[in-house]
Amino acid sequence: MAGIYLHIPFCKQACTYCDFHFSVNMNSKPELVKAILLEIDQRKNYIEGEEIETIYFGGGTPSVLDEHELNSILEKINKEFKVAINAEITLECNPDDLTPQKLDQLKKAGINRLSIGLQSFNEEELKWMNRAHTAAESLSCVKLAQSKGFDNITIDLIYGSKFQDQQSWEGTLQTVVNLNVQHISAYNLTIESKTKLGVDHKKGSEPEVSEELSSEQFKKMIEVLQKNGFVHYEISNFGKENFFSKHNGNYWKGAKYLGLGPSAHSFNIKSRQWNISSNSAYIKKVNSAETYFELETLTDAEHYNEYILTRLRTIWGCDTKEIEQRFGKVMLNSFEETVKKHQKYFNSTDGIITLNTETRRKITEAGTDFFVISLVPGLL
Ligand SMILES: C[S@@+](CC[C@H](N)C(=O)[O-])C[C@H]1O[C@@H](n2cnc3c(N)ncnc32)[C@H](O)[C@@H]1O
Ligand code: SF4
């Protein structure tokens, strides 16, 4: 069982907050797609013999791929790997790309899960974010996708910006619930230093929103979404039963995955590797078969750290029996001591340790790594 991630590093315009790897110059798109096909030849053995359970087109904006580009990638994957009949195949898209014709093409290509970046329903906020769509387009594209037969839709939302007060946030959540989608990913706005928002923040023109406000929004979101049939199964993710993200779920459970395209990460239990974050260098190096990734072999301690850091993000939590089985009694004792010492952060039931709601909220700001490392000095 394994997954394939494809990073499509192009966007029509740069959102003010985003520091993912992407370019707004699409001239190299055809060459980049060819390089991805070549990378499949070069790296298919990384997950040799594994059945592919999930394929995930992320970005950037994968919905800028044209019909031929998308089909050529999927055909190559189907030719080179054993793809499960019921594989989950997700494509991230922006609302402004989702025309009726585009949706037909995606359906025909075999995409069975759409991840649509709505972010907000506030026109002013969307402009501030420099998004290429209006709130009306956000709403209509979800309905259009549903009318075209997409029955596994997830949407992305951002909270914790200066545009949302508690009342407008409740309105946003109600709008989301009414959309009748299967899954929601909601991220606390983070200010990244290299983005326009980061630069404006440093200049003092974009102050950070108070922790109390984003905390209230996080709690309200859990309350409203749970009431409406969503399970809060990971810090930033809510899904209806049977609609949790299989692809991300496999990351959190430590399954293997092959990442293709610039900046994509791969993991095959033994090692972790990540591709160069430059479109031109990636294309050049793939074509000349030079090395285009860095590689890190994981030690036993790193495997243990990964297990704790990823599992604590989810409702499945850390299983003390599994810790003992995989990492030994000494590691289990040290884990149990830490949990005992910092009891106020955890829930513990039948040997399963999870984070409590307040701690989950803190992590939306600081990150699991930061939180756990600050609890357990010397963990990494
Ligand atoms: C990298 S984007 C790719 C999806 C697609 N291009 C889009 O914009 O919808 C994935 C998601 O990351 C989230 N994101 C990116 N930067 C963020 C930030 N600084 N703070 C919070 N969420 C962020 C957004 O919600 C976005 O939908
Ligand atoms: S949020 Fe999405 S569309 Fe905006 S810059 Fe980032 S990847 Fe591109």
Distance CA 151, CA 211 (A): 36
Residue 280 belongs to some domain of the structure: no
Å from CA of 18 to ligand 1 middle: 6
Whether 228 and 335 share a structural domain? no
Whether 243 and 130 share a structural domain? yes
State percent of the chain over pLDDT 90: 78
Whether 246 and 380 share a structural domain? no
pTM above 0.85, yes or no: yes
The reply to whether ligand 1 has any atom less than 6 angstroms from the CB of 189 is yes
Indicate which ligand has the atom closest to the C-alpha of 63. 1
The reply to whether ligand 2 has any atom less than 6 angstroms from the CB of 22 is yes
Å from CA of 194 to ligand 2 middle: 14
Whether 21 and 146 share a structural domain? yes
- 274 CB-side CA count, 13 A: 6
Element (H, E) at 82: strand 82-93
Domain-terminating residue out of 203, 228, 250: 250
Å from CA of 115 to ligand 2 middle: 13
Residue 274 belongs to some domain of the structure: no
Distance CA 37, CA 235 (A): 34
The reply to whether ligand 1 has any atom less than 6 angstroms from the CB of 187 is yes
Closest approach atom of ligand 2 to CA 60: 7
pLDDT, tens only, 313-349: 899 999 999 999 999 999 899 889 888 888 888 899 9
Residue 139 belongs to some domain of the structure: yes
Domain-terminating residue out of 250, 283, 302: 250
Indicate which ligand has the atom closest to the C-alpha of 93. 1
Residue 63 belongs to some domain of the structure: yes
The reply to whether ligand 2 has any atom less than 6 angstroms from the CB of 118 is no
Q: Is the pLDDT of residue 378 over 60?
A: no
Residue 10 belongs to some domain of the structure: yes
- 209 close to 189: Cβ distance less than 8 angstroms: yes
Sign of the CA dihedral running 158, 92, 279, 13: negative
Where do the H-state alpha helices sit in 57-189?
67-80, 100-109, 123-128, 135-147, 166-178
Closest approach atom of ligand 2 to CA 117: 2
What was the pLDDT predicted at 99?
98
Looking at ligand 2, which residue's alpha carbon is closest to its atom 3?
11
The reply to whether ligand 1 has any atom less than 6 angstroms from the CB of 94 is yes
Closest approach atom of ligand 2 to CA 13: 5
Whether 98 and 209 share a structural domain? yes
Whether 338 and 201 share a structural domain? no
The reply to whether ligand 1 has any atom less than 6 angstroms from the CB of 190 is yes
Q: Is the pLDDT of residue 366 over 70?
A: no
Indicate which ligand has the atom closest to the C-alpha of 15. 2
What was the pLDDT predicted at 380?
39
Whether 161 and 244 share a structural domain? yes
Residue 150, domain CATH: 3.20.20.70
Indicate which ligand has the atom closest to the C-alpha of 237. 1
Q: Is the pLDDT of residue 169 over 80?
A: yes
The reply to whether ligand 1 has any atom less than 6 angstroms from the CB of 92 is yes
Residue 307 belongs to some domain of the structure: no
Å from CA of 78 to ligand 2 middle: 28
Distance CA 129, CA 120 (A): 9
The reply to whether ligand 2 has any atom less than 6 angstroms from the CB of 32 is no
Question: Which residues lie closer than 8 Å to 78 by C-beta, 6 or more apart?
Answer: none
Q: Is the pLDDT of residue 23 over 70?
A: yes
Tally of structural domains, the chain:
2
- 323 CB-side CA count, 13 A: 24
In whole numbers, what is the pLDDT of the chain averaged over residues?
Answer: 93
Whether 53 and 155 share a structural domain? yes
The reply to whether ligand 2 has any atom less than 6 angstroms from the CB of 14 is yes
Residue 84 belongs to some domain of the structure: yes
Domain-terminating residue out of 250, 282, 298: 250
Both tokens assigned to 113: 């899960």
Q: Is the pLDDT of residue 372 over 70?
A: no
The mean-pLDDT minimum among 147-151, 239-243, 371-375 falls in 371-375
- Minimal CA–CA distance to 363: which of 297, 298, 287, 312? 312
Whether 239 and 340 share a structural domain? no
The reply to whether ligand 1 has any atom less than 6 angstroms from the CB of 97 is no
Residue 285 belongs to some domain of the structure: no
Residue 85 lies in domain: 2-250
Whether 355 and 227 share a structural domain? no
Distance CA 159, CA 201 (A): 17
pLDDT, tens only, 78-133: 999 999 999 999 999 999 999 999 999 999 999 999 999 999 999 999 999 999 99
Indicate which ligand has the atom closest to the C-alpha of 11. 2
Element (H, E) at 330: helix 329-341
Q: Is the pLDDT of residue 142 over 70?
A: yes
pLDDT, tens only, 256-284: 999 999 999 999 988 899 999 999 999 99
